[in-house]
Amino acid sequence: MHAGLLACDEPAGTVPPQQPEDALAAERRLYLQAILHGQRNAATGIVLAAHHAGHSLLDLYLKILQPTQYEVGRLWESNKITVAEEHMATAITQSVMAQLYPLLPQEQPCYGRLVLTGVQGEFHQLGGHMVADVLEARGWEVRFLGTNLPHAGILRVIEEQRPDAVGISATMLFSLPKVRDLIESIRALPEPQPRRIVVGGAAFRAAPGAFREIGADACGLDLEQAIAILCGEARSE
């Protein structure tokens, strides 16, 4: 609203200044087209070329992989692409991540141990996989369990690993009751319990305040927030 009022005050014919694009905007557009057209080699080449040009691996995740997957999801939700095209694009990004993973910096674990998982009934794991890769590169010892696991199996891993933190990813709003049930079960485990339970994923972007209602300690709505919360600087909303 305020920006709109300011625009009304400008002299007729004045063009508002354009916001500068970030340094990877062109690569992001090309990458999106490549994955939507099933061009796996082209997609891989775009990302690796950006890395060879001096862009950090973290920037590749934050400024190419994550935003293009958000756009793929938006295109599917608005019926601009089919579910087959969405799956194809996601599979290509998973392939690209597999090639980037060996290049990630191998920090000595300094934050502790993290168990990262989805809940039973969740089939989308790419976002959680990105978080696992990036946090491992930043100094967490990560156990990424994937998605659609029985809660009993997740709890068994937590009891065995005794992690310092647990991350739970949910993409669909209907998964939130299961996330709440899992958090309650984790809280009921014998000591020592995880110091923090952090949630994230598309379900929480749709309902940002829900993490408090289901008993989580914090919510990372994207990769950058997950890093901030679990590696130090932390905002929980």
What CATH number is associated with residue 203?
3.40.50.280
Mean pLDDT over 132-144 rounds to 94
Tell me, yes or no, whether 208 and 118 share the same domain.
yes
Tell me, yes or no, whether 212 and 123 share the same domain.
yes
199 neighbors 207 (Cβ within 8 angstroms): no
Domain boundary among 62, 77, 103: 103
Average pLDDT, the chain: 88
pLDDT above 50 for 8: no
Tell me, yes or no, whether 200 and 153 share the same domain.
yes
pLDDT at 21: 62
pLDDT at 232: 81
Range of the domain at 127: 112-231
Mean pLDDT over 34-51 rounds to 97
One DSSP character per residue, 155-223 reads HHHHHHH--SEEEEE--SGGGHHHHHHHHHHHHTSPSSPPSEEEEESHHHHHSTTHHHHTT-SEEESSH
pLDDT at 16: 34
Other C-beta atoms closer than 10 Å to the C-beta of 69 total 20
Measured between alpha carbons, how far is residue 37 from residues 33, 40, 72, 79, 215 in Å? 6, 9, 12, 16, 41
Residue 151 lies in a domain: yes
pLDDT at 105: 84
Going by the DSSP 8-state scheme, the letter that residue 144 receives in this structure is E
CA dihedral (167, 130, 70, 230) in degrees, to 10, reads 40
Per-residue pLDDT band for 108 (boundaries 50, 70, 90) equals confident
Mean pLDDT over 205-233 rounds to 91
What CATH number is associated with residue 41?
1.10.1240.10
pLDDT at 13: 35
Name the pairing type of β-strands 140-144 and 112-117.
parallel
222 residue type, one letter:
D
Q: Residue 130: which of 138, 73, 81 has the closest Cα?
A: 138
Name the pairing type of β-strands 165-169 and 112-117.
parallel
Mean pLDDT over 159-169 rounds to 96
pTM of the model: 0.83
pLDDT at 27: 97
pLDDT at 6: 28
Residue 168 lies in a domain: yes
Tell me, yes or no, whether 151 and 170 share the same domain.
yes
Tell me, yes or no, whether 117 and 43 share the same domain.
no
Tell me, yes or no, whether 123 and 214 share the same domain.
yes
Tell me, yes or no, whether 96 and 186 share the same domain.
no
Domain boundary among 103, 137, 162: 103
pLDDT above 50 for 136: yes
pLDDT at 208: 84
Tell me, yes or no, whether 161 and 133 share the same domain.
yes
Domain boundary among 85, 103, 121: 103
Residue 20 lies in a domain: no
**Tens of pLDDT along 11-31?**
333 333 333 468 899 999 999
Tell me, yes or no, whether 78 and 148 share the same domain.
no
Residue 97 lies in a domain: yes
Tell me, yes or no, whether 97 and 33 share the same domain.
yes
Q: What H or E segment, with its residue span, contains residue 135?
A: helix 126-138
Tell me, yes or no, whether 142 and 162 share the same domain.
yes
Residue 147 lies in a domain: yes
Specify the 3-state DSSP secondary structure of 143: strand
154 neighbors 143 (Cβ within 8 angstroms): no
Number of domains forming the structure of the chain = 2
